Amino acid sequence: MKKKYVFLALAAIIILSCISAGARASEYLSSYGAYASAGDTGEITIDFEVTGNQISDRIGVSKITLYRDNGRMVEAITGSVNNGLISRSDAFHFGSHTFDHLTPGEYYYAEVTVFAEYNGGSDSRVIETNSVRAPY
In a domain, 91, yes or no: yes
In a domain, 6, yes or no: no
Show Cβ contacts of residue 28 under 8 Å, excluding neighbours closer than 6 positions: 52, 53, 56, 115, 116, 117, 118, 121, 122, 123
Domain holding 91, by residue range, is 27-133
Say how far apart CA 44 and CA 96 lie, in whole Å.
Answer: 10
Given a cut of 70, whether residue 83 has pLDDT beyond it is yes
> Of 13-17, 45-49, 100-104, 119-123, which gets the smallest average pLDDT?
13-17
Going 77 to 79 to 80 to 83, the CA torsion angle's sign is: positive
Find the mean pLDDT for residues 121-133: 97
Say how far apart CA 110 and CA 77 lie, in whole Å.
Answer: 11
Rg (CA), the chain: 20
In a domain, 54, yes or no: yes
In a domain, 18, yes or no: no
Q: For a pLDDT cut of 90, what percent of the chain falls above it?
A: 81
Counting the structural domains of the chain, the total is 1
In a domain, 72, yes or no: yes
In a domain, 36, yes or no: yes
The CATH number covering residue 123 comes to 2.60.40.10
In a domain, 10, yes or no: no
In a domain, 8, yes or no: no
